[in-house]
Amino acid sequence: MTDKKEDKPLERPRDNTPPEELLKILLANVRSYHPSDDLSMIEKAYEVAKEQHKDQKRKSGEPYIIHPLCVAIILSDLEMDKETIAAGLLHDVVEDTGMSLKQVEEMFNPDVAVLVDGVTKLTQLNLNTDKVELQAENLRKMFVSMAKDIRVIIIKLADRLHNLRTLEYQSPEKRKEKARESLEIYSPLADRLGISKIKIEMDDLSLKYLEPEVYYDLAEKVHFKREVREERIDKIVQEVREHIEESGIRANIKGRIKHFFSIYKKMVNQNKTIDQIYDLFAIRIIVDTVKDCYAVLGFIHKLYTPIPGRFKDYIAMPKPNMYQSLHTTVIGKDGVPFEIQIRTFEMHRTAEFGIAAHWKYKEEGGSENKATENEMTKMKWLSEILEWQKDESDSKEFMKMVKSDLSLFNESVYCFTPTGDVKNLPAGSTPIDFAYSIHSAVGNKMVGAKVNDKLVPIEYVLHNGDRVDII
C-alpha cells in the first residue's frame, strides 16, 4: 500500500487551534516518518519562536506563533528534515523580532541559520512590482537563494500557502495582490519543483480570492452532482480492481474529482460550461514496477476504448520536474470519457512531494542527508539555474532565461472582464489585445484601459488574474 500521507491533502488544522495542540500535531507528523526519536531541535525552535513572537498577533487576532507552527506542519506533511522544520518555526524571528541571525546560529546550527536567512531575504523581495528590471532583479535574487539551498524556497512556499489560507483577514486589495502573485510566481515554482500538494491548494485559493463569484459558483456546481460522480468513480474503480487482481498484480486504485482550478482552466480553454466537461475526475493506479505499469495499461485498453491522441508516456519521457506516469483517456462503458494515470509507488511519491521527496535519512543512527546533487540535477531547469549562478549576467538577461528556459510564466494569461468573464490570451498580451479579444468594435473604439481599477498605459503587459476595463 502507498503511504497514506501521499494520498491526503496537506494538513489544515481548524482555525483557533491552541498552539500546544498544533505542536502535538507537528511532532506526531514528524515521528510518523523520521527514524530518530530526538525531536529536541524542533521543540526548542518552537519555544524560541513562541517567546520571540509572544507580544505579536495575526490579523485574525490569534497569537502570531500559530503561523510558524502551521508552516512547520505543512513542511512535516512534505516529510522534510528536522533542520528545515526548525527553520520553518523560526522563519520570521529575524525580520519581525529582536533576534539576530547570529543568535539563531548559536542556539541551533549554521544550517538552520542559513535557511532562516534565506527565507528572510526572500520575504523582503517585492515580486509584485510592475517594473520589469526590479522584478527581474528580485527574481534573480530568489533563484540565487534557491540555488544555494533548495529548502529555502520550500519553506517560502509553505509560508505563502499558509498566508493564502488566512487571506480572509486581509483587505480586499491585499487579497488580490497576494493571490495574483501566488498564481504568477509561487504556484509555477511549486509546479517546477514537482510539489503538487502545494500547487493544487495554492491555485484553488488564488482563484477563490481573485474571482470569488467564479470560485463559489464552480464549487456549488461541482458539489451539486458530487454523489453521482462518486458513485460512478466507485463503480469504475471496482471494475478496474477486479481485472487487475485477476492478473496477480498488486495495485492501489483510487478515483478523485479534479481540483477547482484545473476544472476552471479546462472550461476557459475549451470554452465550455461545467456540464459540458465530462472528464471531471481521474482514476489513479499505483503499482510496484515499471513493467506492471505497462501491463496495467494493456488491461485498461482492453477493458475500455482508448481515445486516439490522448495517451502520454511520462515514464519514458519524464517532465522537467521529475514527474513520471502513464496518462490515457478512455471511454467508459456508459460512453463518457475519463482519464487514467498509472505509476509506481516511487513515482507517486515524487509526483506528490517533488524535490521534497528527495530528503533521505540513513537508517543507522537516524542522521539526516540532504538531497544529493545528483538527485537535484535530475531537474533539468534547476541544474540550468545552478550553471547560470556561476555567470555574472545582468537582470534583464536573467529574466529572459527565466521566461524561455524555465517557463516560469505560463504561455497564456487568464484575465477577467468587469463582469467576471474570462479571457485566455497569449503571454505578453496588452489591454489592446484584450479589447480585440472581446470584439473588433471594442478594440477599434478603445481610448484607454484600467487594470485592477487603475489606469494603465496601453503597452502594459497583462498578468494572470488581472481585471481589465476597456475605456
Statement: residue 298 has pLDDT above 90: yes
The string of DSSP codes covering 41-67 is: HHHHHHHHHHHHTTT-B-TTSSBTTHH
Q: Which residue, among 406, 315, 317, 324, has the nearest Cα to 357 in the 3D structure?
A: 324
The catalytic residue among 7, 96, 368, 384 is: 96
Residue labelled with grid coordinates 491526503 = 8
246: Cβ contacts below 8 Å, ≥ 6 apart: none
pLDDT value of residue 450: 92
Percentage of residues in the chain with pLDDT exceeding 70?
Answer: 82
Among 163-167, 186-190, 269-273, 422-426, which range has the highest average pLDDT? 163-167
Mean per-residue pLDDT for 238-254?
92
Statement: residue 368 has pLDDT above 50: no
pLDDT value of residue 273: 79
Q: Which residue has the higher pLDDT, 59 or 407?
A: 59
β-pairing verdict for 281-287 and 337-344: parallel
Q: List, for residues 22-77, the tens digit of each pLDDT value.
A: 999 999 999 998 888 899 999 999 999 999 999 899 888 899 999 999 999 999 99
Q: Which residue has the higher pLDDT, 108 or 60?
A: 108
pLDDT value of residue 95: 87
pLDDT value of residue 292: 97
Q: Which residue has the higher pLDDT, 97 or 410?
A: 97
Active site residue 77: no
Percentage of residues in the chain with pLDDT exceeding 90?
Answer: 40
Statement: residue 361 has pLDDT above 80: no
pLDDT value of residue 388: 56
Q: List, for residues 73-97, the tens digit of each pLDDT value.
A: 999 999 999 999 999 999 999 988 8
Q: Which residue has the higher pLDDT, 466 or 366?
A: 466
Q: Which residue, among 97, 84, 101, has the nearest Cα to 51 in the 3D structure?
A: 97
C-alpha cell at 372: 544529493
pLDDT value of residue 111: 92
Q: List, for residues 317-360, the tens digit of each pLDDT value.
A: 888 778 899 999 999 888 888 999 999 999 998 888 887 776 64
- Whether residue 385 contacts residue 147, with contact meaning beta carbons closer than 8 Å, is answered with yes
Q: Environment class of residue 281 by beta-carbon count within 10 Å: exposed (0-12), middle (13-18) or buried (19+)? A: middle
Among 125-129, 281-285, 360-364, which range has the highest average pLDDT? 281-285
C-alpha cell at 282: 481521474
Mean per-residue pLDDT for 397-414?
57
pLDDT interval class at 365 (50, 70, 90):
very low
Active site residue 384: no
pLDDT interval class at 218 (50, 70, 90):
confident
- Whether residue 307 contacts residue 331, with contact meaning beta carbons closer than 8 Å, is answered with yes
Q: Which residue has the higher pLDDT, 139 or 204?
A: 204
The catalytic residue among 20, 21, 51, 95 is: 95
pLDDT value of residue 362: 36
446: left (phi over 0), alpha (psi -120 to 50) or beta: beta
pLDDT value of residue 382: 59
pLDDT value of residue 5: 56
Which of 141-155, 315-329, 408-422 shows the lowest mean pLDDT across its residues?
408-422
pLDDT value of residue 424: 73
Stated as kind and residue range, the H or E segment containing 238 is helix 226-247
pLDDT value of residue 409: 47
pLDDT value of residue 137: 66
pLDDT value of residue 80: 92
Q: Which value, to the nearest 10 degrees, does the dihedral of the CA atoms of residues 75, 78, 84, 89 take?
A: 10
pLDDT value of residue 102: 95
pLDDT value of residue 413: 73
Mean per-residue pLDDT for 223-240?
86
Q: List, for residues 375-387, the tens digit of each pLDDT value.
A: 554 455 655 655 6
15: Cβ contacts below 8 Å, ≥ 6 apart: 60, 62
218: Cβ contacts below 8 Å, ≥ 6 apart: 260, 263, 264, 274
Q: How many CB atoms lie within 10 A of CB 34?
A: 21
CA 42 to CA 83: how far, in whole Å? Answer: 8
Q: Which residue has the higher pLDDT, 422 or 219?
A: 219
Q: List, for residues 249-278, the tens digit of each pLDDT value.
A: 999 999 988 888 888 888 877 777 777 776
Q: Environment class of residue 152 by beta-carbon count within 10 Å: exposed (0-12), middle (13-18) or buried (19+)? A: buried
Q: Which residue has the higher pLDDT, 338 or 407?
A: 338
pLDDT interval class at 132 (50, 70, 90):
low
pLDDT value of residue 392: 45
pLDDT, mean over the chain = 83
